[in-house]
Amino acid sequence: MFETIGQEALFNIMISLMVLVIVWWSLQSFRFDVFVRDPDGIKAKALMVITTIALTQLVTGFILNYMEWSAALRYLF
């Protein structure tokens, strides 16, 4: 039982890190300099990090929920 919990936790961490890298990579093409005064300042960098974390949380939550719901469909029939 504890092995299953550990495997699930490891899987969730790996999915989260994979999505984090993809979100960070995709946000590199977004022009934050249009929306902030000093694009090279610490506040702009913090905004980039916070935006990346927020989007990662949303996308990861969707993926993990979808996989959980898909696995639970076998109990429908």
Q: What is the DSSP string of 3-36?
A: HHHHHHHHHHHHHHHHHHHHHHHHHTTS-GGGT-
- Average pLDDT of the segment spanning 40-49: 93
27 has pLDDT over 80? yes
pLDDT category, 54, cuts 50, 70, 90? very high
Q: How confident is the model at residue 63 (pLDDT cuts 50, 70, 90)?
A: very high
